[in-house]
Amino acid sequence: MAHRKVSIVVWAGLAVLVMVGSIFADAIGLPDLRWIVIAASLIVLAYAAQLIFKMNKLDPGTELMQQLAGYIRDGAQTFLRREYKVLIIFTLVLGTLLALVIEPRPWVAVGYVVGTAVSALASWIGMSVAVRANVRTASAARHGWGGAMMTAFGGGSIMAFSVVGLGLLTLTLMTMVFDQPYVWLGFVFGSTSVALFLRVGGGIFTKSADVGADLVGKVEAGIPEDDARNPATIADNVGDNVGDIAGMGSDLYESYVSALVAAMVLGQVVYGAIGAFVPLLLGAIGLLSSLLGNLFVRPPSTEDAPFETQVRQVHQSMNRGVYVSNILLVIGAYLLLNHFLPQADALALFGCVVAGLATGFIIGPITEYYTSEHKPVMEIANAANSGPAILIMEGMAIAKMSTVLPIIVIAIATVVAFAFAGLLGIAVASVGMMANLGMLLSMDGYGPITDNAAGIAEMAHMEPEVRERCELLDAVGNSTAALAKGFAIASAALAALAWLATYFVAADIVDVNIEDPQVVAGLFVGAMMVYLFSALTMRGVSKGAFATVEEVRRQFREIKGLLEGTATPDYVRCVDIATVHALHSMLVPGILTIVIPLVVGVLLTSEAVAGLLMGALLVGLPLAIYMANAGGAWDNAKKHIEAGHHGGKGSDAHKASVIGDTIGDPLKDTVGPSLDILIKLVGKMAVMFAPLFGAINIVSNWLP
Amino acid sequence: MAHRKVSIVVWAGLAVLVMVGSIFADAIGLPDLRWIVIAASLIVLAYAAQLIFKMNKLDPGTELMQQLAGYIRDGAQTFLRREYKVLIIFTLVLGTLLALVIEPRPWVAVGYVVGTAVSALASWIGMSVAVRANVRTASAARHGWGGAMMTAFGGGSIMAFSVVGLGLLTLTLMTMVFDQPYVWLGFVFGSTSVALFLRVGGGIFTKSADVGADLVGKVEAGIPEDDARNPATIADNVGDNVGDIAGMGSDLYESYVSALVAAMVLGQVVYGAIGAFVPLLLGAIGLLSSLLGNLFVRPPSTEDAPFETQVRQVHQSMNRGVYVSNILLVIGAYLLLNHFLPQADALALFGCVVAGLATGFIIGPITEYYTSEHKPVMEIANAANSGPAILIMEGMAIAKMSTVLPIIVIAIATVVAFAFAGLLGIAVASVGMMANLGMLLSMDGYGPITDNAAGIAEMAHMEPEVRERCELLDAVGNSTAALAKGFAIASAALAALAWLATYFVAADIVDVNIEDPQVVAGLFVGAMMVYLFSALTMRGVSKGAFATVEEVRRQFREIKGLLEGTATPDYVRCVDIATVHALHSMLVPGILTIVIPLVVGVLLTSEAVAGLLMGALLVGLPLAIYMANAGGAWDNAKKHIEAGHHGGKGSDAHKASVIGDTIGDPLKDTVGPSLDILIKLVGKMAVMFAPLFGAINIVSNWLP
């Protein structure tokens, strides 16, 4: 404990020191202000390294636990290896295209490849840590709450700080080597490619495995969830890492560098060189305030308190971390902006930072209200008494209602940010929202790690109290995951708006008039893409689930002694099948998202492409919120019933709620989150290829 | 038969004569060209009157049949009377507002009240005819196919020609009395109010009764559909008339007068007085070509052929009518435009008419493909084998996919129409699509009449072959209904665009730039309204269904001998309860749709309101198509299974498909169609109150 206190003091001291350095960077007399950003990045990377070191020394549990965790680890690596093989081809093709057509040649392509590599590496690290932290969390749960919670949170923190540290470090180095904004944009585009593969591909994988495992395991064979006899159960656990660690991580990381680079590009237009530096310094402050907040997360003090108290303490502890990091960010941002910019501008941009930060944290409780144990979920659970149809209708109605406030909040944030500082204001609001990603991602990574730990505890037949501890830690994880989901959607919306603003500058357009029929056509194409994309990802899940079901049935049929528990199932094949299906199902929507904006840009005007971006955002945003919340609400309505209401487990109401949950699962974990990627990706495509749109223009010549 | 031939020759001769008169109206030397439009309207009204005369002479069946039909008739009248009472208050409030603030005062308010009255009257006539035609169709079915089919089609035709004839007649008279376009706009606004009450209120009523009746009847009490012992069964049959006759009729009628007036207003801007006359003359040609097409619909020639042949013949006969009327419309429009306008302009506007007409008829087969017995529905039926969750997921994916082509078609039509003739082009395309409404509505009215006839045949325990005939006629009705639904959505989209164009002129704005944050805010508010509106209508259905369920349970419990068939249920109370709930559930979304655009217009700029209209259209259109097609596809997947596939009735697949159908029903009959109303209504609100938006402007003063 004394050791822990010393460690906290050292890290906190370092962080505060460099944070002050960031704010008054020019007073230090550095030859380049960016060295301070590099210092901040290195500090959080070192913090992550220390956590890895500590993690590796922890007890990985019994042989059976290690064996099961090994399966999950191998599965996760198999998935990533296969995804990355295709990603490399994809990167080479797109990189070559960029190298051939986008100036400065070939440096944009270089930026793109570096961006892809860094994001891919960060995701790899995140996954590698998570698949080690899960079993150690389960193992620690044998001795009590505190250790288990801190192990899981530590795993999340490693993932978080590796991701943001690596991102900010490379981006800063990039700006030192290349003074051309288009190269930085290329760097972001790399992270977008990775997010497409991991979020969409990962989303399809995870739900193919999950739905497939449930359909055969629970429904046909009648064995419980996370039973080691089910050949798809390892794939299901791999899916949690793939979807919630690699997928969510790469998605939020993408929003993070997106926000920074959009603010840098627009800042440079307004303020010259310093305008590009300030967002980086803001990023450094965010990194360090996240680190400081992170240090405030502590294990529950009383190991013997009733479990509600314990859970509340775990929750409170994380919330404390979030508050601390937010307060530090706000103070730091105020001082930084005041130091570098004229006072009026500094105040305006500070307003944008606060607006962005507030948006992210207002949408969280709204999401929580509609998807956790409150009136709406109670109403859905109540509707379960009238059967699955009414339950689903009720869920649809409530989830639709749940989109209203978030959209209003985002609209207000947009108008306010714009009123403060024009297009730059929107980008800065986006930075404000994302700057504390280190803290947010630590909490978010905690969720799937505890989920996996609970799975391992179940599969390894551990003592009931250990399983209970893991499951309660997992319950906290579910609510942090809901927060992250709301955050991911809001950040996607602001990032999309920021890149729309960047596109206006890149394409040099000032008037996108909805009285222009080409803009109207663009708006409709954008709307259409959202439905096309979600239809394809949805079918990807159902096809993947079918394939998983077939494979599990085959194993039950062909492997003797499987159901009796005397033979080991072929876990690897299930992972393989879901991976291949995910890749196949992801490619068509991915390529369409890339090709359609290009085609519109080439056939119609640059303004039509702006219409497309707006159309995709406008249609995609409510649909994404709707799906995420419908899934969350059905999930929790089921859990509410399972907790003994309306007849509890096995009742007709419960059966109805299981149907709702099964439908909601891919909505919230695949189709909804994939739309985040869509609305961000089209913006990047537009900016990257904006130079082309002016040059070639086919249809618009004969149109008014 | 000889009598029928003479009658056809007389009507055809009259129609051709006046049609030629319309095209060369000025050559006749009339003091006012509009007398010819009035003549055309009077001819179709006379045709409708003759059909009513013939209908009343038909045999209304046995005493039991008449009694049951009487219940339905009374129920429908109860519904309308209650709706109209609230509608009168609503009209007085809104009319007073218009009389106080919108110039020319109070004539806009007068136009509004007249518009409401005419639309309400037309719907009343349509309903009165339909609730008489249903029992006569069932009665005629005792003697064979032909008579039954022609009775139902005749009922549809009466409804259709009363609606369009009255509409065009009053509108024309209106333009003769008031030369102020704002008064005509007021007239349209009246039809919008009625459509809101009948389509949204009617939609909620019909599905409350339907879902409620099914839940208690089929599921709890185990009695078949349309069983006279079920107290909600009359309400269910009333609902078919309320939703599909009054609702669909008032909705399409609204699109019809919307299209005409938008074209008149924009035409007057471009061409002066003649620009306002030409759309009316185009309307007259459409009326008469519909009448001529109508005369081509004949009963199947062979009464003894196998039933597939008979059904095909019924189908072909109606399609022939549609082809004839379309060809006549195209020829007539070409000659008319060429006669009145400079050749280049005439050709361009003719192109718009064809684009509009084609859009309506391309979307039909696309809808048909995704919702009838083709690959998508087969796949959904196949998914039923894996349970309700997979069936619903599959349906969602397919319905999402089904939005892609219609949106592309509408986008192309918009761009093409605009390329031909600017904003006026869009309005003219909308007229082209709607001009043949007489023919389309005749077919559409046929559906619910045969549906009711089948219900009466079932309730009155008629001979199996009579019931079979009614059901097969009903099957044709389902596919004409799908056509009408696709058409209603497409027409709503074009009407919304035409009114957006009218709004640009009314508010005198030329630049609605999506770089303007107020426009962005408007877009988001429009998007939000769509979700809010559909959440509220959806909840309206589930609450209404709950209330119906409670009432039916009460009657089963309290009325002795009900289930044994010795006592008569209290049908009236079920109708009453569903009506009250429908009215309550309709008011909040209705008022919001009216208030929100006003608030946006008062707080922000006129351009923000334009953004709101575009946002609502862009988000509402795909969602409306999605819901309509999801519902249609699940319905037909169920029918496919009931026809003996995947285990047929009673199998697990069938149970899964029943769940899908129950969810899909309100989507396709309430929530989806209500969105048509929403996207049209906001446009009308914006145009009506456009003069206010410039004057008061609060927030926008401190915004950039």
ipTM of the complex: 0.94
Q: Tell me the pLDDT band of A697, cut-offs 50, 70 and 90.
A: low
Residue A23 structure tokens: 């704010």
Q: What pLDDT is recorded for position B700?
A: 58
Nearest in space to A233 (alpha carbons), one of A213, A219, A206, A203: A213
Nearest in space to A625 (alpha carbons), one of A299, A400, A449, A443: A400
Evaluate whether A434 touches A454 at the Cβ level (below 8 Å). no
Evaluate whether A181 touches A111 at the Cβ level (below 8 Å). no
Evaluate whether B201 touches B83 at the Cβ level (below 8 Å). yes
Q: What is the mean pLDDT of chain B?
A: 91
Question: Mean pLDDT highest for which of A225-229, A492-496, B694-698?
Answer: A492-496
User: Chain A contact for B160, CB < 8 A?
Assistant: no
Q: Best residue in A359, A510, A524, A532 to probe B by mutation, most B CBs within 10 Å?
A: A524
Torsion, Cα of A69, A74, A78, A79 (10° steps): 10
User: Chain A contact for B535, CB < 8 A?
Assistant: yes
pLDDT in tens, A611-650: 999 999 999 999 999 999 999 999 999 989 998 999 999 8
User: Chain A contact for B392, CB < 8 A?
Assistant: yes
CA distance B191 to chain A (A): 27
Per-residue pLDDT at A509 exceeds 80 = yes
What does each C-alpha distance from A474 to A71, A321, A480, B565, B693 come to in angstroms?
Answer: 21, 19, 10, 56, 53
Residue carrying structure tokens 């259109």: B621
pLDDT in tens, B389-415: 989 999 999 999 999 999 999 999 999
pTM given for the model: 0.95
Residue A649: how many CB atoms within 10 A of its CB?
12
Q: Mind giving me the DSSP string for B591-648?
A: HHHHHHHHHHHHHS-HHHHHHHHHHHHHHHHHHHHHHHHHHHHHHHHHHHHHTTGGG-
User: Chain A contact for B659, CB < 8 A?
Assistant: yes
Helix (H) or strand (E) run with residue A435 in it: none
Q: Which residues of B touch A679 (CB under 8 A)?
A: none
Nearest residue, CB atoms, A528 vs list B407, B511, B532? B407
Q: Best residue in B363, B400, B600, B669 to probe A by mutation, most A CBs within 10 Å?
A: B400
Nearest residue, CB atoms, A610 vs list B394, B396, B514? B514
- No. of helices (H) and no. of strands (E), chain B: 23, 0
Q: How many residues in chain B?
A: 704
Nearest in space to B604 (alpha carbons), one of B687, B516, B530: B516
pLDDT in tens, A313-344: 888 889 899 999 999 999 999 999 999 999 99
Cβ contact, residue pair A614, B703, below 8 Å: no
Q: Tell me the pLDDT band of B303, cut-offs 50, 70 and 90.
A: low
Helix (H) or strand (E) run with residue A131 in it: helix A107-141
Residue A42 structure tokens: 């290195």
Q: Tell me the pLDDT band of B350, cut-offs 50, 70 and 90.
A: very high
Q: What pLDDT is recorded for position A546?
A: 86
Average pLDDT, integer, range A197-224: 87
Nearest in space to A399 (alpha carbons), one of A618, A621, A633: A633
Per-residue pLDDT at B604 exceeds 70 = yes
Per-residue pLDDT at A704 exceeds 60 = no
Evaluate whether A140 touches A125 at the Cβ level (below 8 Å). no
Q: Which residues of B touch A517 (CB under 8 A)?
A: 414-415, 418-419
User: Looking at chain B from residue 401 to 420, which residues have their Cβ under 8 Å from any Cβ of chain A?
Assistant: 401, 403-404, 407-408, 410-412, 414-415, 418-419
Q: What pLDDT is recorded for position A32?
A: 86
Evaluate whether A319 touches A287 at the Cβ level (below 8 Å). no
Q: Best residue in B390, B394, B509, B634 to probe A by mutation, most A CBs within 10 Å?
A: B390
Closest-CA residue in chain B for A522?
B411
Residue A461: how many CB atoms within 10 A of its CB?
9
Q: Best residue in A352, A396, A494 to probe B by mutation, most B CBs within 10 Å?
A: A396
Cβ contact, residue pair B514, A611, below 8 Å: yes
Per-residue pLDDT at B498 exceeds 60 = yes
Evaluate whether A556 touches A219 at the Cβ level (below 8 Å). no
Residue B16: how many CB atoms within 10 A of its CB?
15
- Cα distance between the two ends of chain B: 74
Q: Which residues 6+ apart lie within 8 Å of A419 measured at CB?
A: A425, B517, B702, B703, B704
Amino acid at B306: P
| φ and ψ of A513, to 5 deg | -95, 125
Q: Residue A384 has what DSSP assignment? A: G
Cβ contact, residue pair A400, B527, below 8 Å: no
Q: Tell me the pLDDT band of A303, cut-offs 50, 70 and 90.
A: low
Nearest residue, CB atoms, A542 vs list B390, B662, B666? B390
User: Chain A contact for B546, CB < 8 A?
Assistant: yes
Q: Indicate the range of B235-239, B241-245, B624-628, B691-695 predicted with least confidence.
A: B691-695
Q: What proportion of chain B, given as a percentage, has pLDDT over 90?
A: 72
Q: Best residue in B207, B393, B519, B599 to probe A by mutation, most A CBs within 10 Å?
A: B393
Q: Residue A229 has what DSSP assignment? A: T
Q: Which residues of B touch A702 (CB under 8 A)?
A: 419
Average pLDDT, integer, range A31-56: 94
As a whole number of angstroms, the distance between CA B522 and CA B525 comes to 5
Strand partners, A513: B513
Residue carrying structure tokens 């900016």: A687
User: Chain A contact for B532, CB < 8 A?
Assistant: yes
Q: Tell me the pLDDT band of B653, cut-offs 50, 70 and 90.
A: very high
Q: Which residues 6+ apart lie within 8 Å of A31 measured at CB?
A: none
**Buried/exposed A211-248: b ≥16 CB within 10 Å, e otherwise:** bbbbbbbbeebebeebbbbbbbbbbbbbbbbbbbbbbb
Q: Which residues 6+ apart lie within 8 Å of B353 measured at CB?
A: B282, B329, B330, B333, B337, B428, B429, B431, B432, B435
Cβ contact, residue pair A415, B520, below 8 Å: yes
As a whole number of angstroms, the distance between CA A37 and CA A167 comes to 11
As a whole number of angstroms, the distance between CA B447 and CA B443 comes to 7
Average pLDDT, integer, range A161-184: 95
Q: Best residue in B214, B514, B629 to probe A by mutation, most A CBs within 10 Å?
A: B514
| φ and ψ of A610, to 5 deg | -60, -40
Residue A1: how many CB atoms within 10 A of its CB?
5
User: Chain B contact for A215, CB < 8 A?
Assistant: yes
Residue A182 structure tokens: 């288009």
CA distance A645 to chain B (A): 20
Per-residue pLDDT at A703 exceeds 70 = no
User: Chain B contact for A703, CB < 8 A?
Assistant: yes
Q: Which one is predicted more confidently, A697 or B187?
A: B187
Q: How many residues in chain A?
A: 704
Cβ contact, residue pair B401, A531, below 8 Å: yes
Residue A262 structure tokens: 């959009």
Residue A563 structure tokens: 């159901």
Q: Tell me the pLDDT band of A29, cut-offs 50, 70 and 90.
A: confident
User: Chain A contact for B524, CB < 8 A?
Assistant: yes
Q: Which long-range contacts (CB under 8 A, 24 or more apart) does B697-704 make?
A: B697/B602, B697/B603, B697/B604, B697/B605, B698/B602, B698/B603, B699/B603, B699/B604, B700/B518, B700/B603, B700/B604, B700/B605, B700/B608, B702/A419, B703/A415, B703/A418, B703/A419, B703/B517, B703/B518, B703/B604, B704/A418, B704/A419, B704/A422, B704/B517
Q: What pLDDT is recorded for position B702?
A: 55
Cβ contact, residue pair B523, A618, below 8 Å: yes
Q: What is the mean pLDDT of chain A?
A: 91
Average pLDDT, integer, range B579-596: 93
Cβ contact, residue pair A511, B515, below 8 Å: yes
Amino acid at B73: R
Evaluate whether A154 touches A129 at the Cβ level (below 8 Å). no
Q: What pLDDT is recorded for position A700?
A: 58
Helix, strand or coil, per DSSP, at residue A513: strand
User: Chain A contact for B439, CB < 8 A?
Assistant: no
Cβ contact, residue pair B528, A622, below 8 Å: yes
Cβ contact, residue pair B514, A518, below 8 Å: no
Q: Indicate the range of A315-319, A475-479, B80-84 predicted with least confidence.
A: A475-479
Average pLDDT, integer, range B688-692: 90
3-state helix, strand, coil in chain B (%, to 5): 85, 0, 15
As a whole number of angstroms, the distance between CA B353 and CA B432 comes to 4
pLDDT in tens, A109-147: 999 999 999 999 999 999 999 999 999 999 999 988 888
Residue B125 structure tokens: 């006539």
- Burial label, B53 (beta-carbon count in 10 A; 0-12, 13-18, 19+): exposed
> Residue ranges of the alpha helices (H) in B34-62?
34-57
Q: What proportion of chain A, given as a percentage, has pLDDT over 70?
A: 98
Q: What pLDDT is recorded for position B264?
A: 97
Q: Tell me the pLDDT band of B33, cut-offs 50, 70 and 90.
A: confident
User: Chain B contact for A532, CB < 8 A?
Assistant: yes
Nearest in space to B71 (alpha carbons), one of B134, B123, B126: B134
Amino acid at B671: V
User: How many Å separate Cα A460 from the centre of its chain?
Assistant: 30
List of E strands, A14-138: none
The full 3-state SS of B151-202, as one line of letters, equals HHHHHHHHHHHHHHHHHHHHHHHHHHHCCCHHHHHHHHHHHHHHHHHHHHHH
What does each C-alpha distance from B685 to B404, B677, B691 come to in angstroms?
Answer: 29, 12, 11
